[in-house]
Structure 1
């Protein structure tokens, strides 16, 4: 993203965000095609199972308008999810232009801590001192890495102060550190809230016919009831034990999560195009297409990376839960450091220390989750 905007001079942050998020649309068709090639399952069969799962998850027990109610509730879920997944990214983009990148990174990556608190409040997770300690350790690691300082810059042999590395320096816009820090903090909270609410409302059915089982929604499979949700609710109230559905009654791993992800892409396409003409008319971001195929190719790579990250992230929210997933995403800090070293970049001792704390914190959480499972 930085290379395209700086070196290739394609400074269209909102449009790049828009392209990346509408690319989510391709995930479900690709998954269905892969299942067709692997197992020979007809695409329409999986689509029917997904439709059944949506109705079973979002219909209200005892409602006479069950199907219509389910469609409305599911539509509201996709609308809120689209806004929820867009807000942190947009706030982050705004914050970067107002304050230092180290402050933005440190504040935004505290979302692991807020995710932990919101999980206690909204998901009613049991309080575990070990998990709290791991989340705090990861947050400290982010702060240490962000404020560890940079290596001494290489002296510039070019005496012209307006030229650096062969290109002209643009005059930096006026900054507002306080506003930028506030936006980065709001982005962190918005990201945490999205993760927790996604886990609560979008990763597992609220009216499942299956009891807790290693191959239920938490393990990547979504039970599909063979009877209406109202009947299932009556059976549950009567204390009748529900059988574990056979493999043929379960959706393939991650298919439901990828349905949600693709629909978030559709929501982005239908809603988030609205700011584009406004930004163009006001001059904040004049719309222009890439000027050459090279730039277009790098933009396609950006979209592919964004789709890969968000798809796996949403799958892991259902498998691991928001706490471990949010801390796991902080490992990108360590990966960036390792790539920097491999490419001959300069890395400070503070960066090594901060990334080490993040890695230890993730390891502690992973072991704790494995023991609990």
Structure 2
């Protein structure tokens, strides 16, 4: 097995610095280049200050110490450390290695944690020769590349479903831009039963390390997929009579804190009163998912609350809807269901790939698995 040697982190990189400031009004949902900062991806901008491959280390904020590999053009803010390996090291390998080191522990103890570039550069780390770095990076990157490919595929599939929804039910393209006369105008509650989840209280008493899954809004706020598979918290079965238990395949909609987020469950879970669900509906879950995404800005505008935004059930029930004929709705579902099925299959594959990568990562980074004789 090849020997691993100890170096200062800063000695492994030809570039190890924080980024530069950017004005908030330059960051938008659209743009040519991603903007990375202390809280990960912040949006996009029309200019970049970095090109190549690097390890991005969150320097401040909730993502302090988090590491991700990036290749391309991007704008790096002062809240991100950009680390580019020197000629004797592999940047992607070092990104994996730094990722398992829990760099956040080197931050200060103030209310707002932060990493000092100079202090982090002094920390010691054990690394193998470049040849072994390349092999380990190749093994892990093959998994990550497949995960990313699946994510991009799903983004494309969801865009197709969204475009089809808007073409049919917003622009009425198949009918020369004119809504068919047999479509019905009525409140959403006329076609869909809308109910709210429930919370056993005090919730701290019911939280557990195992038991029934307990879906929180925070589980989905950064989730790009239509499907929910990973849920972090559980509650005791004693809490079941005071909450709502839903099976995989059901649609939910957030109605508080960050309202108007639709998701389709891929696991059984309990939902608290910050979620709405739909026991009966004349509209499919796929149609409703796309409909809620389309009207989300309106739902946010209709929500209210002194501390958190809250989308009341009655508001959603009264929301005006134009319901297409049964024939059109069935034709639409026939087209979009295969798209959602493909997204779900890719999500499930990614779940397995992530588990495999996360199991391999610490073993490869510690040298527990010897890959020195593997030919790549």
TM-score, length of structure 1 as denominator length: 0.22
TM-score, length of structure 2 as denominator length: 0.22
> Which structure has more helix as a fraction of its residues?
1
Structure exhibiting the larger radius of gyration computed from Cα positions: 2
